[in-house]
Structure 1
């Protein structure tokens, strides 16, 4: 019996350790199961996230490839990381200096706002990193055909093409019909409708200036009408303009109802009556002032808002603006002769019967003297208007004899 009790006591001492071992084993199993589940869930989450980013990446790459396939031909992409593009069937370096300095094709899609901003950019370095021959930009403002075009063709014939450029602003839809050998070939700029006596004339002038400013070689800018002719040869006109220290914009105070009478008091205080000026629409201006005119918005908007009706902004905007800020840089006279002796709303028109040798000399000598670089000179007008189409043939007969071209 003693042995039995000892055996029972011994067995009773062994029971608790066995129970604790089973419990611990169960807990460990649960922890393993939970850990496995956590790792499994984390694996799924990581896999989903990775899969999403991979799909997004390859989708983006596919879109990029699709974009290139739609908008560009395969051969347009060269080994230079797409720096070279095809233009008119030829490779063109978009970042070349020549592309930046000169606008080979005058047709573009810029709005006036974009164009004026682009044209008003001024380099801060005075030295040019290229050979620059200063040019005269001849800017033709016309409603349609240029009846004096054969005369102008003869005027430019044989001249150094590095010394001049041509820009034509006509009514939208009109296309100048000339041969591809003409100096006027593809010289039309994007235009808009122009109405006589309205601010749209100023818009056209600024549009011509802005397009011409895109060529950094253009230094002098002449506004010319379809009825205008040169009364000297090219070399005389070029030397005269390039040698001048001033621009040629007529600007004077007219106390009559045709001058001060057009002023609006709503322009004060930015433009006062004493600052109001009048002048011929047909101007010549140098590059630094052309940039200022194109860049101006403040004073242009005043004219657009208050210079109407019967105010004729084209006769007042540039004369007033230059007189207010840059009077010392202006010769304060026009170089285009116009006959206002008839005292009407339009100047006299010259027809075939007017064209003689003596008549050409009278155009040149209609003013006894004027100021040129602060000195007196008898050479005051370089151009003249208003010529009827009938005058073309007799003018062509006098070019070599009198006009010198």
Structure 2
């Protein structure tokens, strides 16, 4: 008992009992196990990092990189996507989708690639192209300087050999009624499809009864050097001009800007895009210009007079003969095709071209019946130059 009390008293200080606890030595076996565990964990960590670094991480980076590289020339988002014309003209776009897509055009005049401007010949037809052989001869040898688009009645399917300039050049079409807005819809449809080819710079509307009056080189030069586009747009104060105006078209279309002109036009890319993007004037003409207001004679001339008046030459390049009277111009057959006939067309008038007088006022003529083809093919080399 005495020994035990003394050990307790040794731990007292100022009357407070303080127990002294002596630490026991850590077992050596447990330290060995702990060391081995730490070494194993470190080894596993090093191996895991190495594996991720050289295999897993590399796979992840490769996958991410390949998914976002889109600047190569062979990728869908490269420049070639925008400058290559559609390989196939037939598509399933609605008119609304087509016009929206075609309304895109460059705001910069300079092109970052070599661009050869082309003439787009747009054929608005009822069906067959009876004068196709003449056009084939006219276009022969000038590939890369022109494009061809055909808008027939939707029930018609053109069948041309693979060697023809008309082969697979038919676009999705709808019924076009003379004198009604569906006719302008067809013309806008042609323009929109042609605008999808960035190289098309001049747009010529012709029918199946039209012919070229000069060789391709002459016509290409005339269009490319002109400072203006060619669309008739004149103020007719009579019953067939202002007499067709409806005051419900105000204020978008004032009577002072009401114009009349030929349906057959030749315009540049800027004006083509202006027509295609229009949503302001279209509803007014569709609702308030119906027969006896013939919208195809007023819509484009009036709209462009309001939007781009300085760009117009205010005349058409397509010759027609109204001397016989009636609602339609004269039609010419086999017996009409003579040298004297073409002399009357080619030398019968003076007009303004780039501010100067010229006797070369027409590049195209209509209307020619299918029976005129053989005579035209015979006389064309001597008179028309092709």
- Provide closer, same or farther for how the CA distance between residues 298 and 356 of structure 1 changes in structure 2, counting only shifts above 3 A: same
- Provide closer, same or farther for how the CA distance between residues 131 and 172 of structure 1 changes in structure 2, counting only shifts above 3 A: same
Find 1:371's aligned residue among 337, 352, 361: 352
Shift of 1:110: 1.1
The 3-state SS of whatever aligns with 1:269 is coil
Find 2:133's aligned residue among 150, 169, 175: 150
For residue 81 of structure 2, what is the aligned residue in structure 1?
99
For residue 113 of structure 1, what is the aligned residue in structure 2?
96
Q: TM-score, normalised by structure 2?
A: 0.80
Shift of 1:273: 1.5
Within 1, Cα distance between the matches of 2:313 and 2:244? 24
CA deviations over 1:52-96 (Å, ceiling 9, x no partner): xxxxxxxxxxxxxxxxxxxxxxxxxxx965999xxxxxxx85334
CA deviations over 1:131-153 (Å, ceiling 9, x no partner): 10011100000010011101000
Shift of 1:221: 0.4
Find 1:254's aligned residue among 226, 236, 244: 236
CA deviations over 1:209-229 (Å, ceiling 9, x no partner): 111111111110000011000
Within 1, Cα distance between the matches of 2:209 and 2:348? 19
For residue 145 of structure 2, what is the aligned residue in structure 1?
163
The 3-state SS of whatever aligns with 2:251 is coil
Instruction: Identify unmatched segments of 5+ residues in structure 2.
Output: 1-64
CA contact (8 A) 2:229 2:267 kept: yes
Find 2:295's aligned residue among 306, 313, 316: 313
Within 2, Cα distance between the matches of 1:96 and 1:392? 46
The 3-state SS of whatever aligns with 1:376 is strand
For residue 43 of structure 1, what is the aligned residue in structure 2?
none
Indicate yes or no: 2:245 matched with 1:263: yes
Indicate yes or no: 2:121 matched with 1:138: yes
CA deviations over 1:227-273 (Å, ceiling 9, x no partner): 00001000000000000010000011112211111111111121122
CA contact (8 A) 1:83 1:94 kept: no
Instruction: Identify unmatched segments of 5+ residues in structure 1.
Output: 1-78, 85-91
CA contact (8 A) 2:252 2:280 kept: no
The 3-state SS of whatever aligns with 1:366 is coil
CA contact (8 A) 2:117 2:145 kept: yes
Indicate yes or no: 2:381 matched with 1:403: no
The 3-state SS of whatever aligns with 1:206 is helix
Find 1:392's aligned residue among 360, 373, 377: 373
Shift of 1:303: 0.3
For residue 273 of structure 1, what is the aligned residue in structure 2?
255
For residue 327 of structure 1, what is the aligned residue in structure 2?
309
CA contact (8 A) 2:331 2:367 kept: yes
CA contact (8 A) 2:241 2:260 kept: yes
Q: TM-score, normalised by structure 1?
A: 0.76
Shift of 1:204: 0.5
Within 2, Cα distance between the matches of 1:207 and 1:287? 15
For residue 198 of structure 1, what is the aligned residue in structure 2?
180
Indicate yes or no: 2:111 matched with 1:128: yes
CA deviations over 1:92-117 (Å, ceiling 9, x no partner): 85334333221111111111111111
Within 1, Cα distance between the matches of 2:80 and 2:99? 21
Within 1, Cα distance between the matches of 2:205 and 2:372? 21
